[in-house]
Structure 1
Amino acid sequence: MKRALAIAALLPLTLGLLPAAASATPPSVGGATLTWQLSPTGVAARFRGLSAVSRNVAWVSGSLGTVLRTTDGGRSWRNVSPPDVAGLQFRDIEAFDAHNAVILSIGEGEASRVYRTTDGGASWTETFRNTEPTAFYDCMAFFDRRHGLALSDPVGGKFRVLSTSDGGGSWTVLPDGGMPPALTGEFAFAASGQCLTVAGGRDAWIATGGGAQARVLHSADRGRSWTVSVTPLASSSSAGVFATAFRNRHDGIAVGGDFANPANGVDALAFTRDGGRTWAEPSTAPQGYRSGVTFHPWFPGVAFAVGPTGSDVTLDGGRGWRQFDAGSFDTVDCTRDGSCWASGEQGRVATLRLG
C-alpha cells in the first residue's frame, strides 16, 4: 500500500513531463518511468475482454474460447475457460471479484452467448443464447453486482439491449420503443468490451460507427430510453466510436478511428462535459486509432487510451494527449485501488508501472 501511495504522489508530476511522441525507450523523469509491465500468460489468444478487479485480481477473455484469471497481480495466470467453447470469441468479460464473473461471446445467431461463474471459473453456466438470427451481441456493462446491460447490433432498424437484475443469471430483451432508429449501416464495434459503458446507477452509453456519422447514445434509465448525439469522429465500415469512458454522468471520452488505417489518428477522439450531449475535439490527440479507454480512479483528469500503435495519457480529461508506450493493446481498465491493466493480441496482458 505504501508503494501504491508513493506512485500516486508521483503520477501527476511524471505524466505532465512526458514527451508528446512515442519512443523506443519509455520516457524517464528523475528516474521515474511510466510503462506497461508485461505479464506473461503463456497463451496466444487475443484478449479484447478485460476486467480488472484490484491490484491482485484480474480476468481476461478472448479468442479460441479463452478465459484467464490472476489472483497475484499477474505473476501467474490460471486458464479457467469454459469447456467445449474453443470456437467462440469472448470479446467482453465483467468480473466482480476473484470468484464471480460474466463473459460474452460475439457472433450472429447462437454464437452470441453469455456464461457466468460463481466459483472462480471452476464451472460455468450458460445464462443466455441468442436465438434472433440477425442479432450480433458486442459488449456488456454492469451498474453494480446485479444490474447490467448487453448490446447487440441493430435488429429491425434499432440497437437491441438485454438487461439483467441478478448478476447475469438471467437476461431480458428490453422494449425498443425508447431507442432511436439506427443509421443505415450503423453498428457497434466488438473491439474492447467498451462499446457499452456505464457510470453510477442508471446512466449508460453506446458507441457506434459504420454509418454516415459516428454517434453516441445515452440512457439515464438503465436502457429503457435513449437520446443520441453526433461526435466529431470519422465513420465508415471500419471507423467510428469504438469505446467510451465516463468518470461520472457528465465527464466522458470517446475513442476510435479507423482500424483499417491504425496509424491515422485524425478524428479519432473526442471528449464531453455534458454527459455526451455535445462533443469536442482535443488540442492534441493520439497518433493512431484507439480501441480502449479508461479513467484513473484517483485523479480527476487522468485517463488512458490504447490501440495497436500505442498507449496515450491525458491529464485534463481528454483535452490533450501524450503517448508513453508504442506496444499493441486492445483494451484497458483501472481499479478502485489505483492499479491499471491492459490486454491485447498474442496473449499480451500488462500492468501499469511507475518507478
Structure 2
Amino acid sequence: MTSMGKTRRMISVGLTGAALAMALASPAQAGETPAAGWHLTPTGTDARFRGLAAVDRKVAWAAGSKGTVLRTGDGGRTWRDVSPPGAGGLEFRDVEAFDARRAVVLAIGEGEASRVFRTEDGGVSWTESFRNTDPRAFYDCMTFFDHRHGLAMSDPVDGKYRILSTRDGGRSWTVLPDEGMPAALPGEAGFAASGQCLVSSGPRDVWLATGGGAAARVLHSADRGLTWTVAESTIPAGDPARGVFGLAFRDRTHGLAVGGDYRKDQPSPRAAAVTGDAGRTWRQAAAPPPAYRSGVAWLPHSRSAALAVGPTGTDLTTDGGRTWRTIDTGSYDTVDCTRDGSCWASGEKGRIARLGRA
C-alpha cells in the first residue's frame, strides 16, 4: 500500500471511533431504535466468557467456563468451538490473540488448575505450555506487549504478587524474581473477572489491578515486570469483594480503572477512576458508572471515548473518564476494541456481542 493510501485508511479508521462515540452518545427518541449499540451474535453455548480478544472486525476469540474457547472469522455471524481437548473442567478467564491462528488462553484456579495453552492453527490443536505446581499460587490475568513478550500474574505468594514471563509468544514461561515487587497488603489479590487485571501499553509498560485489601491499588512496571511502583486508586476497597477489576491504557500515560463491589446487593460508589501520569496518581470520576463494572476499553483511535461494562449494563465516557453515562442494560463481563474500528463484549450465558449501528 502506498503512503497516501495508508494515510487515507488511517483517517477513515480514526473517524470510525469518533462517529461511533457520537452515535452511542445520541439518545434515541421514545419508540426509536438507538443509533448504535450491542448486537448479540449466536454462540450456541451457555458458557460465561470473561476472556475476550478482538483481533479485527472479522476475527475474535472468547474464553470462558467449562473449558470453552470460541473463535469467529466472519464478524460474529458464526462461532467455532475450538476448546482444548480435555479442558472441560477448567475455567478460562483470559485469552490473548495475535491473529486468526495464534492465541494463548489462561485457566485460573489454585495449584494445577492454573494453566496456559497455546495454539498456532486456529484452535485445531493446543499445547499446554504452563501448569502451576505451587499450591499457593492462583493466576488471574495475562497480557502481551507484542507477539513474543508477555506476562501473567498470580495472587500474592509469600506476600508478593508472582509474575510469569514469556519471551517466545507463550511457548514457555518463567517466574520472574520478586525483588522489585512491593509487598502486598493483607487480604489483597487480583480479580479474574474480565482478563483486565493485568494490561500493557507499548513495548515495556504494564499495570496490575488489585482489591480485597485496605486500599484498591494499581501497580506499574516500566520494564516488563522486573520492578514495580504502586499507587492507591480512588475506588473503594476494604472488603474481599471490592477493588479495581479492570484497567485500560490508550498509551503509556492515560488510563482508566473500573471496579466496585461485585455483590449484587451492594452499592458501588466511585466505581471508576482516571490517570494521566501512567498510574502514579488517580482521580475519581466526577460522574462514575452507577454500579460495579468489570471491564473497560478505549474506543478505536479516540483520545476521550471509552466503554465500561458489567453485569448491569454498559457505560460510555466521551471526556476521558471524567463522566460516564449508561447506554445499555445488558450483562457483559469484558470488552475489547480493535484498531480497525471494531468493539466486542462478552459475558454470561454465552453472550458475545459486536458494537455497531442498528
The bucket for the TM-score relative to the shorter chain is over 0.9
In the alignment, which residue of structure 2 is the partner of 1:184? Answer: 186
Preserved contact between residue 18 and residue 302 of structure 2 (Cα < 8 Å): no
* CA deviation after TM superposition for structure 1 residue 17, in Å: 3.5
Post-superposition Cα deviations, 1:246-279, rounded to whole Å, max 9, x if no partner, equal 0011100000000013673302110001111111
Q: Determine which of 175, 178, 185 is the counterpart of 2:177.
A: 175
2:47 to 42, 45, 48: 45
Tell me which residue corresponds to 1:85. Answer: 87
Assess, with a 3 A threshold, how the Cα gap between structure 1 residues 6 and 150 changes in structure 2: closer, same or farther.
closer
- Describe the SS at the equivalent of 1:221: coil
Amino acid at match of 2:162: R
For this pair of structures, how many residues does the alignment match? Answer: 348
Q: How far apart are residue 16 of structure 1 and its match?
A: 4.1
Counterpart Cα distance in 1 of 2:95 and 2:184: 26
Alignment match of 2:20 (pick from 3, 11, 20): 11
- The yes-or-no answer on 1:95 pairing with 2:97 is yes
Query: Could you list the runs of 5+ residues in structure 2 that have no partner in the other structure?
Result: 1-8
Shift of 1:41: 0.1
Aligned ranges 1:308-319 → 2 under 5 Å: 308-319=311-322
1:35, distance to aligned residue in structure 2 (A) = 1.0
TM-score by length of 2: 0.93
Structure 2 residue aligned with 1:237: 240
1:247 — aligned with what? 250
For 1:284-323, list aligned pairs within 5 A. 284-323=287-326
Q: 1:268 to 1:82 in 2, by over 3 A?
A: same
Q: Within 5 Å, give how 1:143-222 maps onto structure 2.
A: 143-222=145-224
Q: Deviations over 1:309-348 (max 9, x none)?
A: 0001111110011111000000000001010000000000
Distance 1:26 1:322 in 2: 19
Aligned equivalents of 1:342 and 1:280: distance in 2?
Answer: 26
Q: Which amino acid aligns with 2:346?
A: S
Report the secondary structure of 1:64's partner residue: coil
Change (3 A) 1:109 1:26: farther
1:338 corresponds to: 341
The CA deviation string for residues 122-160 of structure 1, in whole angstroms up to 9 with x for no partner, is 000000000111000001000001000000000000000
**Structure 2 residue 350 is matched with structure 1 residue 347:** yes
Cα distance in structure 2, aligned partners of 1:333 and 1:147 = 20
- C-alpha contact 2:309 2:334 (8 A) present in aligned 1: yes
Distance 2:329 2:33 in 1: 11
Does the 8 A contact of 1:15 with 1:315 survive in 2?
Answer: no
| Aligned amino acid, residue 39 of structure 1 | T
Deviation at residue 27 of structure 1 after TM alignment: 6.6
Moved over 4 A (4+): 1-9, 23-27
Contact 2:115 2:128 in 1 (8 A): yes
Between the two proteins, what is the percent identity of the paired residues? 61
**CA–CA separation in structure 1 for the residues paired with 2:357 and 2:221:** 37
1:264 maps to which residue?
267
Structure 1 residues 136-147: aligned runs within 5 Å: 136-147=138-149
